[in-house]
Amino acid sequence: MPAWLLCALNIYQYVMYLPLIKLPSKTVLWSLFNYVTNQKQRNLKWMKKNIGLMPILPIKFTTKTEKNLAIYHRVIEKLKETIKKH
């Protein structure tokens, strides 16, 4: 979900006195927001979306592709849960 869309939806939610949409902590957008707004971050660098910012998976993978697919599937499930809530 693009950041502008999340902002627009939350403005609507706010105006209609509905609960704000909060991204699951396993998404890239949440990870970027967390990185930018983290007070412990002293040396902020510009970057594009980055899988390295995502929370760590508890298992080891043999290839980077397997790891990225596991992250992708985890994010899809979390987004489905979030959509069902709203």
Q: Which residues contact 27 (CB under 8 A, 6 or more apart)?
A: 1, 75, 78, 79
pLDDT tens for 14-70 read 999 999 888 777 777 777 777 777 767 677 666 665 666 666 778 888 888 888 888
Whole-number Å distance between alpha carbons of 75 and 81: 10
Instruction: Quote the domain boundaries for residue 68.
Output: 25-85
Q: How many residues does the chain have?
A: 86
**Residue 36: inside a domain:** yes
Provide the number of structural domains found in the chain. 1
- CB atoms near residue 40 (< 10 Å): 4
**Residue 6: inside a domain:** no
pLDDT score for 78 = 78
